[in-house]
Structure 1
Amino acid sequence: MIAILGAGKMGEALLSGVLRAGRSPSELMATVRREERGALLRERYGIEIVSNRDAAATAETLILAVKPQDMGALLDEVGPHVPPGRLVISAAAGITTGFIEERLPEGVPVVRVMSNTPVLVDQAMSVISPGSHAGEEHLKLAEELLAPVGKVLRIPESLQDGATALSGSGPAYFYYLVEAMVDAGILLGMPRAAALEMVIQSAVGAATMLRDSGEHPVMLREAVTSPGGTTISAIRELERHGVRAAVLEAIEAARNRGRELAGG
């Protein structure tokens, strides 16, 4: 039995992904704050909605998907009810495995996970890190849950905050860029729908080439950049406006904000 504690947006995304991967609704349960939210999830997925304490006492695998600032209160509530031998998977940004282990019975294995919203279309990027009591078998269990809905990468926990900023929030950066490119198309006289279709397909094609070609992004960009041509003129403007530096600083700011939220 798998329990998702805190079935908000990301919790529901993980829930729907696990179901699409072949799990039966009878194998899952979830917890929510509001009754109407529970009724919606029950109707939509056919799963059982239970209390946090019942989930902690019943499920073999607990996925903690609450907001970082709510994790302490959740662990205070469920910690005494988690039996030894259960696997706890945390999907909360910035929360360390040590923070969780301190609030659970001795020896409970914890795996820290950061995924992203493309889990909804089985294209998530999930990164996982073991706590001090988690072994190979626990990492494999986490991978088995996440692999059907995207890629899974093991990283040291010291890199988790950076991964949250880079890939956890990453889709939003791409959507932001798409917005700007569509607006540019409109500025150039194109209908919004046509501009959006062109930008989306360009993004999909570029991402597929990056993934499948094995080429470095610099090489792929240079292949489009002719001497004295249109692309290099655009690149010059991006560099003149400091876009590269802005991206570096933005992702660093996301990392820092994640740490602030985790610290309360």
Structure 2
Amino acid sequence: MANNTVVLVGCGNMGFAMLQGWLSSGKLQPSDVTVVEPADTLRERATKLGVKALPDSTGITGSPQLIIIAVKPQVIQDILPAYKNYASASAFLSVAAGTPVALFEKILGAQAAIIRCMPNTPAAIGKGMMVTFANSNVQADVMRFTEELLETSGQVAQVKDENLMDAVTAISGSGPAYVFHFIECLTQAGITAGLPQDIAAMLAMQTVYGAGALAAASTDTPSQLRINVTSPNGTTAAALEVLMGDNRLQNLVSEAVEAARNRSVELGKS
């Protein structure tokens, strides 16, 4: 596009990871990006990547194509009014969890182009899952440009109903923590079975990593991959009888996801 000027508001862990992805992929040049970050150390870290970094919005020049809000949800209402004068020319992308589009429209105006994104922590290494919802004011070319930027951090999907973002939060937003806990549990089970702690940790970590990579690379479904590794009356079958008996694990995961979704709904109303 002719104008790829991006303003990144907030350059903490997620913002900085996104910035690194844009620059390392070549999607953006350092001259395309202005960072707004009040914290000196975070601002200096961004400057080392060659981008212009400011302590506040007053030094922004021109009309950015996209203003990315990557600050904590609780400070959105404090920082957003400073960008209202850009709402007629710039689109806004928010990666603030649990913050509805309606809040941005209330502060920036009903005609503002708003894209809401739910990323997850693996985005920091380019393996994330980013899900977006856009209001009707977002133009198709802006949406394409935004998705190209997000793709530098992992996979991108879009939902048409903003209410589904609560389910997205419960699956991919919070999901890495579920997997990390499974690694913890598998490690502890290995220790209980007699393995040294470092070996148990390595086996658990690499097994989860490898299984995920195989599932992503294979043309078989996860169900078929499970069947492939399960010999009748073998060791895997014995373990799966415990996990799958009475849909034990399925019910537990469903209960956990529902708890996360309900909490996401509550936070969106607060």
8 Å contact from structure 1 (residues 68, 261) kept in 2:
no
Q: CA 1:110–1:41 in structure 2 vs 1: closer, same or farther (change >3 Å)?
A: same
Task: Quote the residue 1:128 is aligned against.
Answer: 132
Task: Quote the residue 1:19 is aligned against.
Answer: 23
Which sections of structure 1, spanning at least 5 residues, go unmatched?
A: none
Could you give the per-residue CA deviations for residues 170-202 of structure 1, whole angstroms, max 9, x where no partner exists? 222111111111111122222233223322332
**Aligned AA (1:142):** T
Q: CA 1:57–1:68 in structure 2 vs 1: closer, same or farther (change >3 Å)?
A: farther
8 Å contact from structure 2 (residues 17, 125) kept in 1:
no
Task: Quote the residue 2:82 is aligned against.
Answer: 77
The answer to whether residue 165 in structure 2 is matched with residue 160 in structure 1 is yes
Cα distance in structure 2, aligned partners of 1:70 and 1:259 = 19
Q: TM-score, structure 1 length as denominator? A: 0.88
Moved more, 51-60 or 189-198: 51-60
Q: CA 1:155–1:190 in structure 2 vs 1: closer, same or farther (change >3 Å)?
A: same
Q: How does 1:1-264 map to 2 (within 5 A)?
A: 1-22=5-26, 23-43=28-48, 45-54=49-58, 58=62, 59-79=64-84, 81-156=85-160, 157-239=162-244, 242-264=248-270
CA offset at residue 231 of structure 1?
1.6
CA offset at residue 141 of structure 1?
1.2
CA offset at residue 168 of structure 1?
1.6
Cα distance in structure 2, aligned partners of 1:186 and 1:201 = 16
CA offset at residue 62 of structure 1?
0.7
CA offset at residue 149 of structure 1?
2.5
CA offset at residue 139 of structure 1?
1.3
Q: Report the secondary structure of 1:189's partner residue.
A: coil
Q: CA 1:220–1:33 in structure 2 vs 1: closer, same or farther (change >3 Å)?
A: same
Cα distance in structure 1, aligned partners of 2:115 and 2:61 = 18
Cα distance in structure 1, aligned partners of 2:60 and 2:252 = 43
Q: Report the secondary structure of 2:112's partner residue.
A: coil
CA RMSD across the alignment: 2.3
Seq. identity, %: 32
**Aligned AA (1:183):** Q
